[in-house]
Amino acid sequence: MLPTIKWENNKVIMIDQRKLPFKEIYLELNSYHEVAEAISNMTIRGAPAIGIAAAFGIALGVLKLNDGENYIEKFYDICEVFKKTRPTAKNLFWAIDRIKRVFESNKNLPLKVIKEKIIEEALLIEKEDIEINKKISENGERLIKKEEKILTHCNAGELATGGFGTAIGVIKSAFYNGKKIKVYVDETRPFLQGARLTCWELKKAGIPHVLITDNMAGWLMKKGKITCVIVGADRIASNGDTANKIGTYSLAILAKEHGIPFYVAAPLSTIDFSIGTGEEIPIEERNKKEVLEINSISIAPEGTEAENPAFDVTPSSFITAIITEKGVVRKPYLKSLKKLKEVS
């Protein structure tokens, strides 16, 4: 398994995803500020992975708190720093809340014990995520036919999670179970998570794949070259509306038009039951430079305006099924997701 992120000797180690696939560099982060910055600048990215990073980052911050200071206030300040790193992925806020709950239920204990409990919880979030991804993959694998040509967008693999991946986990399970799989990988402009990260992971796993530019999907569907679409998610509203990497919405429309199943694979920690629809999902707007440049080289005349929404929202009516660790759910999602929440 690729170590995307790990806690080692009271430090956070992570692979620098900005440098992949050309350089495999592991960074050693010693302060919570460094971890927060790594989330904001996408050294680490992907909804479950940034949740784990936030949990580890808060643990790093807590480790440096002292008895002589107002450490309760400082703890909340650290959590606030992580809340501001990226707005869309629910897993980030879910992980921060989990750490907060541990702090709150232990805050009357000696600081040394609080520190141990928080590290324990952060490690548990990481461990559980790997197990959850394996379950998602098992559940999703049953939807994959003996022979399938799968389109995926962005990167919902090992690099985006604690391990194994969600959408890519489903693909890997199908492949390891002997199914004949070919993966079409959307390059995923502007950050190129598909070209740089998903192709890197699929190559390592030995899974046949083909890289396409984001504007090719419709034509390939028309030509029968794609038989299903599987993507991950950053936040799912109670009614199933799903925020994922920009470009996902267009794929869902294309899939519907061509009668191709469109699957979303995500853990329950991605579901935001506090919001009714996708309208309420905050969409991150990133630096325009990501659109105007590739590898720091301008691709448009100086002064060109650009927009850079990092995510879009796919209405649940376009989603054939949502694959979670607790099972696969279908429309109407308001009902099926609620049921899933009740059994978990």
Which residues lie near ligand MRU (CB under 6 A)? 45-48, 89, 154, 156, 160-161, 166, 193, 231-234, 244-245, 310
Shortest distance (Å) from residue 262 CB to ligand MRU: 14
How far is the CA of 2 from the CAs of 58, 130, 325, in angstroms? 23, 12, 21
Cis before 332? omega within 30: yes
Beta strands, E only, the chain: 5-8, 11-15, 26-29, 147-152, 180-186, 209-212, 228-231, 235-237, 242-245, 262-265, 271-272, 293-294, 297-298, 311-314, 321-324, 327-329
Q: Considering beta carbons, is residue 75 or 249 the nearer one to ligand MRU?
A: 249
Shortest distance (Å) from residue 241 CB to ligand MRU: 15
Shortest distance (Å) from residue 233 CB to ligand MRU: 6
Quote the radius of gyration of the chain (alpha carbons, Å). 20
Taking CB positions, which residue lies at the least distance from ligand MRU?
Answer: 232
Q: Considering beta carbons, is residue 29 or 47 the nearer one to ligand MRU?
A: 47
Shortest distance (Å) from residue 76 CB to ligand MRU: 25
Q: Considering beta carbons, is residue 139 or 244 the nearer one to ligand MRU?
A: 244
Out of 129, 186, 234, 312, pick the active-site residue.
234
| Residue 6 neighbours by CB distance under 10 Å | 16
Cβ pair 130, 162 in contact under 8 A: yes
Query: Positive or negative, the Cα torsion across 6, 235, 43, 211?
Result: positive
Q: Is 163 left (phi over 0), alpha (psi -120 to 50) or beta?
A: left
**Is 234 one of the catalytic residues?**
yes
Q: Considering beta carbons, is residue 115 or 286 the nearer one to ligand MRU?
A: 286
Q: Considering beta carbons, is residue 45 or 172 the nearer one to ligand MRU?
A: 45
Alpha carbons 163 and 127: distance in angstroms, whole number: 9
Residues 6+ apart with CB under 8 A from 226: 149, 150, 151, 184, 217, 220, 258, 260
What is the CA 134 to chain-centroid distance, rounded? Answer: 15
Q: Considering beta carbons, is residue 117 or 286 the nearer one to ligand MRU?
A: 286
Shortest distance (Å) from residue 181 CB to ligand MRU: 19
Cβ pair 321, 142 in contact under 8 A: no
By the 10 Å C-beta count (0-12 exposed, 13-18 middle, 19+ buried), 316 is classed as buried
Q: What angle do CA 65, 69, 74 make, to 5 degrees?
A: 60
Shortest distance (Å) from residue 18 CB to ligand MRU: 11
Active site residues: 234
